Amino acid sequence: MVRLLYRALEINLYPRETGRDASAAKVLQLLVGLRPIYAQAAQRGKQTEHLCAAICNMSSIFGEAEMDMLMLGSPQALQLVDLQLQCSRHPNQNIVLQSLEFWHVLQDRPVLKRHPQLRETVFVHLLNTLVGQMAYPKNFSSWERNTGDQDRDGFNRFRDIIWETLQIIQSLLKAKFLSLMLAGLKATGRPLVACVWGWHLLFSFTFELYI
């Protein structure tokens, strides 16, 4: 099924041909049907990360190409958006990064033309998810003592990319963003880190207003 969906998504998407909407609806139905498979694979950890990555990649490609349809918020469209949130929560950073362009494309669409759940609500969930992804690994004390797969440079690059998505979320949530961000940082159990990041955020967004 994964290979068949890949082939379907590789078809030249433009110009939009007659029957494209019906074909897109069928692909959407197939992708939504992969949600339980993704959930089971995510629970099994590293041994099924390749399957999670494949599903995330297909969902993202389809979502970016068919965002005008998805933003109307049909039940299946909202299920696909939920699948993208699950991808953004995955512990594998590569899968998280695969999911981010979908959110950029969604935020490019006019807010008032989107389904109500695809305005602020979904981006608040995404904000909370990405704050958790930016937290240091569990039981982390220093990079010198870190025994996991993550290294300092890779973690910082990951944070930088997430930071770009957070800036997009901030443009939507505006004044709500800082309070939600700080609440999420405090929930990580590292108050000093929350304080430092809070000042960093405040300085960054204030600076951007005046340049």
Q: pLDDT of 85-99, one tens digit each? A: 999 999 999 999 999
Same domain, 34 and 81: yes
In a domain, 41, yes or no: yes
Model's pTM, two decimal places? Answer: 0.82
Same domain, 7 and 63: yes
Q: What is the dihedral of CA 72, 162, 185, 199, to 10 degrees?
A: -120
At residue 67, the pLDDT reads 94
Q: pLDDT tens digit string along 161-197?
A: 998 898 899 889 988 888 888 787 777 665 555 455 5
Same domain, 90 and 173: no
Is 71 in contact with 110 (CB distance < 8 Å)? no
Q: In the numeric block, which tokens belong to residue 183?
A: 């609440």
Same domain, 36 and 73: yes
In a domain, 142, yes or no: no
In a domain, 157, yes or no: yes
Q: Residue 76 sits in which domain range?
A: 1-116
Same domain, 131 and 195: yes
In a domain, 64, yes or no: yes
Q: In the numeric block, which tokens belong to residue 115?
A: 């389904």
Of 22, 20, 38, 29, whose CA–CA distance to 84 is shortest?
A: 38
Length of the chain: 211
Of 52, 201, 67, 80, whose CA–CA distance to 130 is shortest?
A: 201
Same domain, 26 and 63: yes
- In the chain, what is the straight-line distance between the N-terminal and C-terminal CA atoms, in Å? 50
In a domain, 145, yes or no: no
Same domain, 106 and 124: no
Is 64 in contact with 101 (CB distance < 8 Å)? yes
Measured distance CA(2)–CA(60) in Å, rounded:
14
Number of C-beta neighbours around residue 126 at 10 A = 25
Same domain, 13 and 105: yes
The number of domains in the chain is: 2
pLDDT tens for the chain, 211 residues: list them. Answer: 545 555 555 554 555 565 677 888 888 999 999 999 999 999 998 899 999 999 999 999 999 989 999 999 999 999 999 999 999 999 999 999 999 999 999 999 999 999 999 999 999 999 999 988 887 766 666 666 665 666 778 888 888 899 889 889 988 998 888 888 878 777 766 555 545 555 566 556 554 544 4
Q: Report residue 125: phi and psi, to 5°.
A: -60, -40
In a domain, 82, yes or no: yes
Same domain, 89 and 2: yes
- Residue entry with tokens 């994964």: 2
At residue 1, the pLDDT reads 54
Strand ranges (DSSP E) for the chain? Answer: none
In a domain, 140, yes or no: no
At residue 151, the pLDDT reads 75
Same domain, 111 and 202: no
